[in-house]
Amino acid sequence: MKEKVYMAVDLGAESGRVVAGLWNGRKLRLEEIHRFPTGGVYLGETFRWDVLRLWSEIQNGLTLAGKKYGKRIVSVGADTWGVDFVLLNKQDEILGQPYHYRDPRTRGALERTFKKVSRAEIFRQTGLQFMELNSLYQLLAWKERSPGILDAADRLLFMPDFLHWAMCGAKRTEFTIASTSQCVHPLKRNWSLPLLKKLGLPTHFLPKIVPPGTTLGKFRKSLAERTGLAGVKVVAPPSHDTASAIAGVPTANTGKANWAYISSGTWSLMGVEVKKANLSSRALELNMTNEGGVDGTYRLLNNIMGLWLVQQCKRSFDAAGRKYDYVQIAELAAKAKPFRSTLNLNDPRFFNTPDMPKAIQVYCRETKQPVPKTDGELVRCAYESLALKYREVLASLEELTGEKIEVIHIVGGGSQNKFLSQLAADACQRPVITGPVEATAMGNLLTQIRADDELASLTEMREIVRASSSVQRYEPAAWGTG
């Protein structure tokens, strides 16, 4: 069988990629075609996304793919981070420069919102973890600052939806990305219109929600001419990058809650795959979230600050002339004295600070803990704080599901961090299986392959992941925090 080619556009908070998936009917082989930085842009006192630059880079990648694979390319699908969106008017003009989820305009939004609608009612209607970056609070910020823009909007498109519109003109939103917004009802699987109405938000611009694997159309004629990709289909994968990553977990236990995942990158998203959203008062108390998955599943999880802490420390080290790669940073942490200081990862000071080492030191001083001074001590503090948070979330997941979690799968870029993976195994006292690094791209591509009638189920998709990738296992050792 001659290999078919499927294309994934995978955008993360730090970098984006155009990846080819070469499918021979038994295994999936990945080739990175184009990589580029993403990142936000400061504009005045705001923090935005330069979506036109990102789209330009994607077109460059698609053009390179067209030259290499030509008519072998079947389809393309995009996945990105959640919550952020683009507003279009009736003439398909972008309204405003899209905001980055780390923009400060939503600070204090939770308290202001709870004065109108209670925390419990919002959770009943959305099932989502309370974070000021959620689309719900971004919309409320638009309403407070620029209500005319919302009135003029004809369509709200989350980031991957916007990319799909740019590719084929479809104005739909895929369920997994819509489910990150805190605007979707987790049982009805549609917009929570009564909640939005109670908060005074317009709803006329909300698009139709479609499931992952939906074919949205074919490339625009102009895009096909520029890239050489005539007739290529656009298929919505699980468009939230974490949803794609979880579809790419190499578990043999699909349909069971005895395994957990950590999608590890700028954020660590730790959870279990369940068949029904958990809207219990205890889930609300634990600030858990129910986000959409493949085949009607939900990802019962907690959003954890993740490797953002280390990434921002590295940025400060680089600026001071101490340039390390991430392997060297992990080695520095391994040599530092353990269990000196830990962080509350929910503290807002860590969310978008210009000086992460200073923020860590100030926090430790204020909480009367030993203050990390060396680079190794700083990153060790960050890594151990993450591992301890994993242990806390693990206990919450077992309580909510009533199942003992027997193994933790870590996927994504952070799965390459051997030091953190062993810390996770030790803190949680569970075996940790790491890999594939490319779980997000694999979940995206395998959904497209399934849409092409090559696969029949999520179980089959994960069988291909196991056949196409290698993993590493970490056994728990003694954990010394007491």
**159 and 100 in contact (C-beta within 8 Å)?**
no
Sign of CA dihedral 402, 407, 408, 409: negative
Distances (CA, A) of 213 to 76, 253, 426, 444, 453: 11, 22, 38, 9, 11
88 and 152 assigned to the same domain: yes
212 and 262 assigned to the same domain: no
Tell me how far apart the alpha carbons of residues 37 and 43 are, in angstroms, rounded to a whole number: 18
Q: What is the DSSP letter of 167?
A: H
423 and 473 assigned to the same domain: yes
Tell me how far apart the alpha carbons of residues 249 and 437 are, in angstroms, rounded to a whole number: 10
**Chain centroid, CA 370 distance in Å:** 33
Tell me how far apart the alpha carbons of residues 180 and 198 are, in angstroms, rounded to a whole number: 20
159 and 307 assigned to the same domain: no
455 and 331 assigned to the same domain: yes
SS3 190: strand
Q: Domain holding 199: CATH number? A: 3.30.420.40
At 1 the pLDDT is: 60
CA-based nearest residue to 171, from 210, 121, 140, 144: 210
Domain count for the chain, please give it: 2
CA-based nearest residue to 101, from 86, 87, 82, 114: 82
130 and 154 assigned to the same domain: yes
Q: What residue numbers bound the domain in which 438 lies? A: 247-482
**What positions carry a catalytic annotation?**
241
CA-based nearest residue to 380, from 319, 313, 433, 450: 313
| Whether the bond into 436 is cis, omega within 30 of 0 | yes
Last residue of a domain, one of 239, 261, 293: 239
208 and 268 assigned to the same domain: no
214 and 258 assigned to the same domain: no
211 and 270 assigned to the same domain: no
336 and 221 assigned to the same domain: no
CB atoms within 10 A of CB 229: 22
212 and 299 assigned to the same domain: no
Task: Indicate the pTM of the whole model.
Answer: 0.94
SS3 454: coil
Last residue of a domain, one of 208, 239, 270: 239
pLDDT in tens, the chain (482 residues): 689 999 999 999 889 999 999 999 999 999 999 999 999 999 999 999 999 999 999 999 999 999 999 999 999 999 999 999 999 999 999 999 999 999 999 999 999 999 999 999 999 999 999 999 999 999 999 999 999 999 999 999 999 999 999 999 999 999 999 999 999 999 999 999 999 999 999 999 999 999 999 999 999 999 999 999 999 999 999 999 999 999 999 999 988 889 999 999 999 999 999 999 999 999 999 999 999 999 999 999 999 999 999 999 999 999 999 999 999 999 999 999 999 999 999 998 998 899 999 999 999 999 999 999 999 999 999 999 999 999 999 999 999 999 999 999 999 999 999 999 999 999 999 999 999 999 999 999 999 999 999 999 999 999 999 999 999 999 999 886 54
CA-based nearest residue to 187, from 273, 255, 279, 284: 279
At 482 the pLDDT is: 44
305 and 425 assigned to the same domain: yes
Last residue of a domain, one of 239, 267, 289: 239
Sign of CA dihedral 454, 460, 464, 465: positive
